[in-house]
């Protein structure tokens, strides 16, 4: 049972497993089916065990994690989850068709080359072919990270919900820096449609440029997204259940400061971009357990690769 688990630093250092995965192995969630604890994962059950409240009116302060040596072991996971929640709330997931975990700093994918048209073949004639080959160049993964300076004395009296929001905001900004790389990869060597100004007709041209694939999303800067939202043709358009603006031809409008004001990027997100990462969010756990918060670091090593060139088009605004 979760009350009998011995918490120690070594749970963070098990090869190929996260802290929560290590806890789940010791305390499987499946054992709590049909009980009041069935909606909690192994980490959340430990919070309940030590009565650490991270939200709500009676939320505890940071120092509650350091009331015992065992509860201190839970603190790095709280930090990691808070930052990861902010990281995952950004538009990154909405842009990627696939996520690949790569163990090295370089990733060699494959490319699809099609020189023949998709057309009927005469009897006894060879069928047109598609060639899948290893990429000529590897995708080099880059590290995106941040050093967080916060002494224990400065944060020990902070409510955990407020401190968690601060960490979450770091996750959002970290993800936005990663999104900039994704946007640059999408735009590189993509087919461009030029217009003098951003109008609804230009959006329709971008939509019409897609042939085999569909334009399921449009990536725009905040300025361009504002212009699009103010278009007369969108006056009767409502957001979907997730609060996302859907254009009349079914494309989701993705607003991000990573995009340039003079470019809109249309994608079929089921085919356009591969997200490659060699690590999850990495945090120095030992320092956090020992209250050495003055040099917290968080980082992620990742890169991007365009999977299907025809699934990406760019509207270039020249005026």
Per-position DSSP letters for 238-305, written without gaps between them: -B-TTS-BB-TTSPEEEE-TTS-TTEEEEE-TTTSEEEEES-S-EE-HHHHHTT-GGGEEEEEEEEEE
The answer as to whether 123 is a domain residue is no
The answer as to whether 42 is a domain residue is no
The answer as to whether 232 is a domain residue is yes
35, HSE (Cβ side, Cα atoms, 13 Å): 11
The answer as to whether 268 is a domain residue is yes
Exposed, middle or buried: residue 43 (CB in 10 Å: 0-12, 13-18, 19+)?
A: buried
The answer as to whether 304 is a domain residue is yes
pLDDT of residue 287: 80
pLDDT of residue 68: 93
The answer as to whether 283 is a domain residue is yes
Total number of domains in the chain: 1
One pLDDT digit (tens) per residue for the chain, 319 residues: 888 899 998 898 877 688 999 999 999 999 999 999 999 999 999 999 999 999 999 999 999 999 999 999 999 999 999 999 999 988 998 999 999 998 889 998 888 888 788 888 878 788 888 888 888 889 999 999 988 888 888 899 999 999 999 999 999 999 999 999 999 999 999 999 999 999 999 999 999 999 989 999 999 999 999 999 999 988 877 677 677 889 998 899 999 999 999 999 999 999 999 999 987 788 878 888 888 777 788 999 999 999 999 999 999 999 8
d(CA 157, CA 314): 50
The answer as to whether 250 is a domain residue is yes
pTM for the model: 0.85
Closest to 160 in 3D by CA, of 238, 259, 293, 55: 55
The answer as to whether 126 is a domain residue is no
What is the span of the domain harbouring residue 106? 91-113+135-145+176-319
pLDDT of residue 36: 92
């Amino acid at each position: 049972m979760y009350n009998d688990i011995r918490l120690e630093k070594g749970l963070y250092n098990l090869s190929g497993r996260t802290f929560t995965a290590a806890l789940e192995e010791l305390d499987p969630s499946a054992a709590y089916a049909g009980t009041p604890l069935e909606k909690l994962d192994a980490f959340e059950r430990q919070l309940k065990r030590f009565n650490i409240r991270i939200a709500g009116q009676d939320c505890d302060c940071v120092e509650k994690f350091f009331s015992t040596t065992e509860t201190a072991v839970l603190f790095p996971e709280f930090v990691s989850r808070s930052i990861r929640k902010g990281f995952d709330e950004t538009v990154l997931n909405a842009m990627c068709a696939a996520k690949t975990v790569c163990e090295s700093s370089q990733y060699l994918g494959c490319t699809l080359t099609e020189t023949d048209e998709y057309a009927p073949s005469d009897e006894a004639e060879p069928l047109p072919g598609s060639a899948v080959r290893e990429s000529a160049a590897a995708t080099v993964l880059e590290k995106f990270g941040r050093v967080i300076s916060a002494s224990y004395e400065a944060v020990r009296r902070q409510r955990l919900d407020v401190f968690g929001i601060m960490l979450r905001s770091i996750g959002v900004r970290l993800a936005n820096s990663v999104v900039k790389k994704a946007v640059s990869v999408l735009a590189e060597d993509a087919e461009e449609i030029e217009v003098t100004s951003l109008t609804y007709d230009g959006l329709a041209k971008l939509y019409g440029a897609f042939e085999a694939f569909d334009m399921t999303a449009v990536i725009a800067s905040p300025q361009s997204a504002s212009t699009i939202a103010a278009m007369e043709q969108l006056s009767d358009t409502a957001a979907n259940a997730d609060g996302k603006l859907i254009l009349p031809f079914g494309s989701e409008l993705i607003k991000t400061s990573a995009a340039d004001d003079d470019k809109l990027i249309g994608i079929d997100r089921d085919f356009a971009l591969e997200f490659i990462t060699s690590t999850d969010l990495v945090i120095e756990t030992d320092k956090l357990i020992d209250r050495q918060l003055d040099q917290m670091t968080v980082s992620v090593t990742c890169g991007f690769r365009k999977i299907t060139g025809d699934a990406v088009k760019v509207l270039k605004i020249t005026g």
